[in-house]
Amino acid sequence: MRIISGNFKGRPINPPKNLPVRPTTDKAKESLFNILMNQIDFEGIKVLDLFAGTGNISYEFASREAQLIHSVDADFKCTQFIKQISLELNLPIKVFKSDVFAFLKTCKTKYDVIFADPPYDLKLLETLPEVIVNQELLEEGGILILEHPATYNFSNHQWYYDHRNYSKVNFSFFQRP
């Protein structure tokens, strides 16, 4: 795993082997950030990374000069790893060890971008867009990116605007009007 672009372009990130994660592939991550490059100005944005795992996506946003990144994961080893890398690279990432749904219920910050990469077998996966809408966590014009298996179709959601597929990785895009 490596940071694709920005201030830390090419920097390898070597997470411990025993983390319970399924990191977004470099190919899918690179494609995602190419799409986002044409939609947002990364500098100074606020990002929420849900089910952060290794912090892979958080590091990409930080490398591109996001102002604030909140990374949320329920696994202690994952959150410790993200904290370690954030300190090493002096990244603006604040890490929360929490169940994502519990975090979302109490979160008061509004974000420009929310990225969610839940476990593909998560029972509540299909509810994530609606939970985020109901909690009013996106700034006006803010984007939610949800990574999910091909078995899900979010095209009927009120804020849905795009879907991309990269092998087994699917991204659905939502935008607050």
- Where do we find the tokens 């994502």? 100
The whole-number average pLDDT for the span 91-99 is: 97
pLDDT attached to residue 149: 93
Residue at 99 is within a domain: yes
**How much is the mean pLDDT over the chain?**
94
**Residue 12 covered by a domain:** no
pLDDT score of 63 more than 90: yes
Task: Decide if 33 is inside a domain.
Answer: yes
Q: 130 φ, ψ to 5°?
A: -70, -40
Q: pLDDT for 115-143, tens place per residue?
A: 999 998 999 999 999 999 999 999 999 99
User: Among residues 94, 151, 80, which one has the least CA distance to residue 122?
Assistant: 151
pLDDT band at 6 (very low <50, low <70, confident <90, very high): very high
Is residue 166 within a helix (H) or strand (E), and if so which, with residue range? strand 160-166
- 8 lies in some domain: no
Tens digit of each residue's pLDDT (9 = 90 or more) over 144-163: 999 999 999 999 999 999 99
Is 48 part of a structural domain of the chain?
A: yes
91 inside domain: yes
Q: Which domain holds residue 129?
A: 28-175
Number of domains in the chain: 1
Domain assignment of residue 16, yes or no: no
Q: What is the pLDDT of residue 27?
A: 87
Kindly report the pTM of this predicted structure. 0.95
List the one residue out of 90, 91, 92, 56 whose CA is nearest residue 73: 56
Does the residue 88 lie in any domain?
Answer: yes
pLDDT per position as a tens digit, 10-59: 999 999 888 888 877 788 999 999 999 999 999 999 999 999 999 999 99
Q: Residue 46 sits in a domain of what CATH number? A: 3.40.50.150
Residue 159 is predicted with a pLDDT of 95
